[in-house]
Amino acid sequence: MLRGKASTAIISVINGTLSAKEIEAEFRRIVGSDVWKWNARQIADGKFTMRFPNSKMVSNYSQFKLEMKTSNVQLLIEPWCSSIGAKGQLQQGWFRVRGIPTDQRNLRTIAKIGGLVGKTISIDEKTRYSHEFVRIKIACKDIYAIPETVESTLGVFIYDFAFELEEDAEQKEHRLKSGVKIHEYEPQPSPKKQNMDYYTI
């Protein structure tokens, strides 16, 4: 009996076509049917998921392409991850955000201000009460398309929040412009300053 915690893998069919049943039969032939119940499930054209007895076996098979004995078809085996099937991946960047009132810089409000233009990933705690700006790491489809200024409200007051991307030399070649999103958020009581460099959302 093979020991270890079961692990799911992604199986990609290369140079041909196979069904889930054929993949199951191949692993019954290679490993055996008495130690594991092989059950493949198709998730896309040429792609399947299948549980293995343990992660070590997945790792071992992922080192090479498995060739079928009866055809020229090859199988590429990779550990499963949550990004499988994702349409794409968000870009991330650090932004210097100006215009946040000092008395409203609780983490929840800062996170929601970052949420005006994307998804707040982290807050630089060292700049949380800075007079100049608060550094916020933001994820979005295009970090170069975030507008320089966004109008929004805190309570019954209207503010302009300025977003400045911290760019390196390579990033500066891809600058773009975009529109403005407007949301309304209520101010929250400011908690005690946390003893950390970055607050991750």
Confidence of residue 194 (pLDDT cuts 50, 70, 90): very low
In sequence order, which ranges of the chain are alpha helices (DSSP H)? 20-30, 55-61, 107-114
Write the CB contacts of 117 (distance below 8 Å, at least 6 apart in sequence). Answer: 138, 140, 146, 147, 150, 163, 181
CATH topology of domain 7-79: Alpha-Beta Plaits (3.30.70)
| 130-141 pLDDT tens trace | 999 999 999 999
R_g of the chain computed on alpha carbons:
25
179, burial (CB in 10 Å: exposed 0-12, middle 13-18, buried 19+): exposed
Element (H, E) at 137: strand 134-140
d(CA 14, CA 74): 5
| 138-180 pLDDT tens trace | 999 999 999 999 999 999 999 999 999 998 755 555 443 433 3
Whether 123 has a pLDDT exceeding 90, the answer reads yes
**Domain ranges within the chain, ordered by starting residue:** 7-79, 91-200
d(CA 95, CA 3): 48
Query: What is the percent of the chain where pLDDT is above 90?
Result: 54
Confidence of residue 87 (pLDDT cuts 50, 70, 90): confident
pTM: 0.57
Of the candidates 19, 66, 64, the residue with the CA atom closest to the CA atom of residue 46: 19
